[in-house]
Amino acid sequence: MKTLMLGNEAVARGLYEAGCSFVSSYPGTPSTEITEAIARYKEVYAEWAPNEKVAMEAAFGASLAGKRSFCGMKHVGLNVAADPLFTISYTGVNAGMVIGVADDAGMHSSQNEQDSRHYARAAKIPMLEPADSAEAIAFAKLAYEMSEQFDTPVLLKMCTRVSHSQSVVEPGERVECVKEYVKNPSKYIMMPGNAKKRHPVVEERTKALVEWAETAEINRVEDGKDHSRGIITSSTAYQYVKEVCGDKYPVMKLGLIWPLPEKKIRDFAASVDEVVIVEELDSFIEAHCRDLGITVKGKEIFPCIDEFSQNLVAEKLGEVAPCAGCRVGDAIPARPPVMCAGCPHRGLFYTLAKNKITVLGDIGCYTLGAVAPLAAVDSVICMGASVSGAHGFTKALEGKADGKTVAVIGDSTFMHSGITGLVNVAYNESNATIIIVDNSITGMTGHQQNPTTGMNLKGDPCTKIDLETLCRAVGIRRVRVVDPYDLKQTEDAIKEELAAPEASVIISRRPCALLKYVKHNKPVKVDADKCRSCKMCMKIGCPAISMKDGKAMIDNTLCTGCGVCTQLCHFDALKEAE
């Protein structure tokens, strides 16, 4: 029966139908819903791993054991998992293994705009690229067939607009698929003597995949009326091209983005007067065509920055785009994302900003501590970089940064890759102060469980990693817990730990205010007669507080009664409700 399905849910459906029975992933926008969706199928074991490298290695282990496996991640997560990626390319698989990676052109929710297609070529692993939900199902299933046929892991590349668009699909039935594990040291032990023999196998495999790509139905040519131009494209760029051009020009739509066919592209190029490559982000198909000696137009017309749209494609191809509608004359203020009302991170960042402390930040909701008016963060690079960065910053200034520099990292991010940085802090004895903002959930990606929450992906209770014990075991002697809703307690702890002559960890602990089990207090009350319009309460950037007619005003629909603002008011104008 036809139904609407989100691209990511469609990937999950395809994995399910292909008999996938082991999934290990780390959440990351826009990839998260693949794993959330597959966890709902009882036939499939699914878990959140602490990071992408662990997830990929676990999925490899499951493939080795004979079960079709999957690991999913966002584009930057593939950087974390790059180490196993390059070597499982050599070992190949036992049962099929698929690696889902979702790019974020336009950086809706990411720190960079890298193009994952380069990994396919660099690691010599085939990459499929669906353009809608129906293809997401079909390509996920095809990926397993290819994985077992060619003895290789297969990359399934998504992007924000395919992952987060619903389109019409027709789900099928599940087919079970299990293999025996047979010990095979020369294939699975990648020490030099064996790896030297495996590398030529990989090169031969790529040649075989190129042959496959020449005739594969997923690399199709849709003919057009006007052969003065032919377009080669894939993924969402294909959708924009078809939206604009319909069947005007011949279009080669590539479903296998690496390796690319040679003869098929040459034949296509010969059938048209000029070839235009329409691809988001980097020159990838274009570079391949140039390597083949085919003259094409690509990045000389199209940008390598941001995502495309139909109007952009129309403009660049010289086609007609609709005129933009009317605007109102006034400047429309931006509406950037903000920390929610009642967010436990707010009190902590207020305290750090107030004390003018240098903050090495990290990836999560608390990255928003960088936004005005808190503006409390100095750098954000990647998962875990706060802890290692604070170590380097503190060491480099040889004591001058002591007492002024902290790292701020979330519970899930700490488990992902903060812990190795903390080992370095302990081992190499820097005087860094590490603040773990423990909101008892992975927040930004939409409330996923993690090793510190005591619950697993399926929603069952499980082992809860104790952060205090973990930090002490690593070798940090000073470990303490504060409640970030209590500003005085938080400030005292930060000052004391910054003054301490050794490394310390402060765990700022309060569950995310959006968690269903978190009970909110009644909204804060304003005594307008006492309010002197000093705007102290505005310094914390709470969306529930605004000024109206010179007096503080609380939005009762947003306020959770966290009480942070009441601690800032010198005139007793803000009061927690009885």
Residue in 162, 167, 323, 318 with CA at minimum distance from that of residue 248: 318
Q: Which of 528, 564, 518 is nearest to 544 (CA)?
A: 564
The binder of other proteins chosen from 166, 194, 271, 456 (CB under 8 A): 166
Which residue in 540, 546, 547 sits closest to 563, CA to CA?
540
Contact positions with other proteins (CB under 8 A) in 252-311: 309-311
Query: Using the rule CB under 8 A, which residue among 42, 183, 372, 529 binds other proteins?
Result: 372
Among 122, 168, 189, 499, binds other proteins (CB under 8 A): 168
Residue 577's CB is within 10 A of a number of other CB atoms, namely 11
Minimum CB separation of residue 106 from other proteins in Å reads 10
Can residue 354 be called a binding residue for other proteins (CB under 8 A)? no
Considering only residues 180, 191, 295, 328, which one is a binding residue for other proteins as defined by CB under 8 A? 328
The burial of 511, by beta-carbon neighbours within 10 Å (0-12 exposed, 13-18 middle, 19 or more buried), is given as middle
Residue with Cβ nearer other proteins (108 or 477): 108
The yes or no reply on residue 536 touching other proteins (CB under 8 A) is no
CA-based max dimension of the chain: 82
Q: Tell me if 242 contacts other proteins by CB under 8 A.
A: yes
Instruction: Figure out which of the listed residues 40, 43, 83, 108 binds other proteins, where binding follows CB under 8 A.
Output: 108
Instruction: Tell me how far, at minimum, the Cβ of 439 lies from other proteins, in Å.
Output: 13
Applying CB under 8 A, among 173, 191, 300, 326 the residue interacting with other proteins is: 326
Question: What single-letter DSSP state applies at residue 249?
Answer: S
Cα separation, 128 vs 155, whole angstroms:
6
Residue 422 CB, nearest approach to other proteins (Å): 26
Q: Which residues pair with 251 in a beta bridge?
A: 222, 231
Query: What is the rounded distance in angstroms from the CA atom of residue 95 to the CA atom of residue 63?
Result: 5
Nearest approach, Cβ of 383 to other proteins (angstroms)? 15
For other proteins, the binding residues in 116-145 under the rule CB under 8 A are 132
Report in angstroms how near the CB of residue 362 gets to other proteins at its nearest: 14
Pick between residue 14 and residue 30 the one whose CB is nearest to other proteins: 30
Name residues whose C-beta falls within 8 Å of residue 515's C-beta, 6 or more positions apart in sequence.
Answer: 440, 441, 447
Cis amide linkage into residue 373, ω under 30° from 0: yes
Q: Which is nearer to other proteins, 154 or 254 (CB)?
A: 254
Q: CA-CA distance, 159 to 138, in Å (whole number)?
A: 16
* Cα–Cα distances in angstroms (integers) from residue 148 to residues 35, 114, 163, 237, 259, in the given order: 22, 29, 25, 29, 17
| Residues whose CB falls within 8 Å of the CB of residue 157, separated by 6 or more in sequence, listed in order | 101, 102, 103, 116, 117, 120, 127, 128, 129, 235, 257
Q: Which helix (H) or strand (E) holds 267?
A: helix 263-270
Binding residue (CB under 8 A) for other proteins from 21, 89, 206, 239: 239
Residue 500 binds to other proteins (criterion: CB under 8 A): no
**What's the CA angle centered on 27, arms 122 and 105, to 5 degrees?**
55
Q: Which of 218, 221, 304, 371 is close enough to bind other proteins by CB under 8 A? A: 371
Q: Name the residue nearer to other proteins (CB basis): 124 or 161.
A: 161
Residue recorded with tokens 């006034």: 330
| The residue type at 569 | C
CB-nearer residue toward other proteins: 271 or 309: 309
Phi-psi region of 170 (alpha: psi -120 to 50; beta: other; left: phi over 0): beta
Binding test (CB under 8 A) with other proteins, winner from 59, 98, 357, 368: 368
Q: Which of 16, 45, 119, 240 binds other proteins (CB under 8 A)?
A: 240
Minimum separation from the CB atom of position 339 to other proteins (A): 7
Residue among 192, 200, 318, 336 that touches other proteins (CB under 8 A)? 336
What's the min distance (Å) between Cβ of 222 and other proteins?
12
* Residue 445 binding other proteins, by CB under 8 A: yes
User: Residue 332 CB, nearest distance to other proteins (Å)?
Assistant: 5
Q: How many residues does the chain have?
A: 578
The answer to whether 161 contacts other proteins (rule: CB under 8 A) is yes
Binding marks (x or -) toward other proteins, 305..324, rule CB under 8 A?
----xxx---------xxxx
Min. distance of Cβ 400 from other proteins in angstroms?
32
Q: Least distance in Å: CB of 513 to other proteins?
A: 12
Burial of 218 (C-beta count, 10 Å sphere; 0-12/13-18/19+) = middle
480 touches 508 (CB < 8 A):
no
Residue 549 binds other proteins, judged by CB under 8 A:
no
Contact pick of 173, 300, 330, 578 for other proteins (by CB under 8 A)? 330
Query: Judged by CB under 8 A, how many residues of this single chain contact other proteins?
Result: 62
User: Does residue 222 belong to the site contacting other proteins (CB under 8 A)?
Assistant: no
Q: Give residues 10-39 in contact with other proteins (rule: CB under 8 A).
A: 29-30, 32-33
**Taking CB under 8 A as the rule, does residue 382 contact other proteins?**
no
Q: Which stretch binds other proteins (CB under 8 A): 293-301, 351-359, 363-371, 559-567?
A: 363-371
Q: Is 441 in the site for other proteins (CB under 8 A)?
A: no
Nearer to other proteins, 237 or 471 (CB): 237
In angstroms, the Cα distances linking 210 to 118, 126, 206, 454, 472 are 17, 10, 6, 47, 53
Decide: is 162 part of the binding site for other proteins (CB under 8 A).
Answer: yes
Residue 322 or 399: which CB sits closer to other proteins?
322
Q: Does 334 bind other proteins (CB under 8 A)?
A: yes
Smallest distance from other proteins to CB 237, Å: 10
Axis-axis angle for helices 133-150, 7-17 (nearest 10): 40
Per-residue DSSP letters for 312-354? HHHHHHT---PPP----SS--------PPTT-THHHHHHHHHH
SS (H, E, C) 170-200: CCCCCCCCECCCCCCHHHHCCCHHHHHHHHH
Q: Which residues bind other proteins (CB under 8 A)?
A: 2-4, 6, 29-30, 32-33, 108-109, 132, 161-162, 164-168, 236, 239-240, 242-243, 309-311, 321-340, 365, 368, 371-373, 444-446, 535, 538, 541, 543, 545-547, 557
